[in-house]
Amino acid sequence: MTTPLFLLRCVQLGLSMGDLDLLTIGLVNDMFTERENDDCNYDSLATQEDFDAF
């Protein structure tokens, strides 16, 4: 990832320069990935029984 791409992602997430003092590059990437996945619709969601069986 280039520096301009990283800064673009920060702007898209609404992060300030002060926020970047507290965040790592990996955390910013994870936040961006999760934001992109917000509109995903999953066919099924796991229930408690699914977690217990796992």
Using the structure block, give the residue that is written with the tokens 């917000």: 38
DSSP 43: S
Judged against a pLDDT cut of 90, whether residue 1 lies above it is answered with no
Rounded CA separation 12/35 (Å): 10
Res. 36 pLDDT band, cuts 50 70 90: confident
Domain count along the chain: 1
Rounded CA separation 51/37 (Å): 22
Q: Please state the pTM of the whole predicted model.
A: 0.68
Expressed in percent and rounded to 5, the helix, strand and coil fractions of the chain are 65, 0, 35
Range of the domain at 12: 3-53
Q: Which residue type, as a one-letter code, is found at position 39?
A: D
